[in-house]
Amino acid sequence: MRAQHRQVYPVTSNSFTSLSLRPELVTSIASIGYESMTAVQQQTLPHLLKNEDLIAQAKTGSGKTAAFAIGLLNKLDPQVYSTQAIVICPTRELAEQVAAEIRRLASAIPNIKLLTLCGGKPMGPQLASLRRDPHIVVGTPGRVLAHLLKETLHLDKVQTLVLDEADRMLDMGFHDDITQIIAKTPASRQTLLFSATYPDHIKKISEAVQREPIDIRVEDGLDSPDIDQVFFEVGKGERTESLFKVIAHYQPESTLVFCNTIQQCSELAKELRQRDLHALALHGDLEQFERDQVLTQFSGKSCSILIATDVAARGLDVKELAAVINYELSRDPEVHIHRIGRTARAGSKGLAVSLFSASEKRQLRAIEDYQDAAAEIVSVASLTEPEKFKLYPPMATLFVNGGRKDKLRAGDLLGALTASGEITGDKIGKITLFDKLAYVAIEQKAAKQALDILSDGKIKGRKYRVRRLH
């Protein structure tokens, strides 16, 4: 199958009401608070709804997930008990985020069964859930293929196939897995490729699996004025101290620090904690429950600093991320651009700080060439460091040893905390539910009181073990 790419022309209307959507979707979109389409939604949705193949260059945070979610949900038939849509993602974290967004948009459509199939999770519960075909599958290539080979997953009725962040999946070595998965789907399917970049291998896979795809490019805008990008040259052995000075000077509420190695992540997190900064590490050596816990704390604003590798942070989508700091420069200028783009989402202003040594000047020049702009280099000595600097996260996280499998819902936890009137709803932040556990973000000042309420009382008539994460 050879793709013959067609160029898209701009769509003038940015209103969801201009689209032919099923009433349930219109209801869900309104309840979420989506008032108008983002650039990628405006350009892709008219074609998605016409069942056309599409290849779109768009970054995380652009609204692409909602775009393809609306497209696949609009034509899904809840009365047909077969897998009608499958979304393949490079990481477990991204798959979970995509699944959550689809669930939000499907909330007004009754009887939709969505299943996530990711590595790092036991096969048993997945096999049990697959006894009845889900309408939608969101998963990682390895685990999806494993179920296909076991013949526990059936894709012969798939109408929509989405490859999300296809460039990263191919970079991570999933080409053969993806090819085998696609071979199990009908030739008549709609195939959607979303990629942050547009390298040759993306073109090749598009030519192999798509039919006359619409070609859409959405400008990143990563070097826009919304991001203050600053570079600090550091001497040998001064990198960690310089990082501390940067954090003390800018005092961002939430900071994502990129390291190039797992060892760097672990050592740096330990060093910052010794300086009384709430820092956690995210890397490939963590168990899945540890990764979930770290991500939950950071997204819930009970951790001020997340230190991560590029692979581990792939798919991380945290709104209102105040700052991104490159502890070392990436060897790939494109990766650098994607790193710093995380700090300016949905029109918010961001800060991107990069530390570099004399040995990294070649990488600095590559970044300048890629951005077509000279780097703003500032001396570390110019930074002001307040006395007795402390950076406390605004929220704390409570761990509850019960989750979705125990029929717990976010509203149950919210109700248990606010029933007595001692704690008001505005003090409670993000509530995250997993199969067997849950996390509740709560303002620091109310954390002890909330812990006492949940520990001493009952949730839906049952006692659960509750503790505070540190």
CB 65 within 8 A of CB 106: no
Has residue 454 got a pLDDT over 50?
Answer: yes
Give whichever of 208-222, 306-320, 328-342 has the largest mean pLDDT.
328-342
Residue 17 Cα distances to 8, 31, 341, angstroms: 21, 14, 30
How confident is residue 60, by pLDDT bands cut at 50, 70 and 90? low
Confidence check: pLDDT of 138 > 50: yes
For 395-468, which CATH class?
A: alpha beta
**How many angstroms separate the CA atoms of 8 and 217, rounded?**
9
What is the assigned CATH class of domain 6-217?
alpha beta
User: Is a pLDDT exceeding 80 seen at residue 61?
Assistant: no
- Does residue 190 have a pLDDT over 90? yes
Mean pLDDT on 29-43: 84
User: What angle, rounded to 10 degrees, do the helices at 23-32 and 92-105 form?
Assistant: 110
Residue 296 has pLDDT above 80, yes or no: yes
CATH 3.30.70.330 intervals, the chain = 395-468
Query: Where does the pLDDT of residue 70 fall: very low under 50, low under 70, confident under 90, or very high at 90 and above?
Result: very high
Cross-strand pairs, 354:
231, 326
Average pLDDT, the chain: 87
For the cut 50, the answer to whether the pLDDT of residue 282 exceeds it is yes
Q: Contacts for 387-393 with beta carbons within 8 Å, 24 or more apart?
A: 389/248, 389/251, 390/276, 391/247, 391/248, 391/251, 391/277, 391/278, 391/304, 391/305, 392/278, 392/304, 392/444, 393/253, 393/278, 393/301, 393/302, 393/303, 393/304, 393/444
pLDDT band at 10 (very low <50, low <70, confident <90, very high): very low
Name the superfamily (CATH) of residues 227-382: P-loop containing nucleotide triphosphate hydrolases (3.40.50.300)
Q: What residues does CATH 3.40.50.300 cover in the chain?
A: 6-217, 227-382
Distance CA 28, CA 49 (A): 17
| Position 17 confidence tier, pLDDT thresholds 50, 70, 90 | confident
pLDDT > 70 fraction of the chain, expressed in percent and rounded: 93
Tell me: pLDDT of 204 over 90: no
pTM metric for this prediction: 0.60
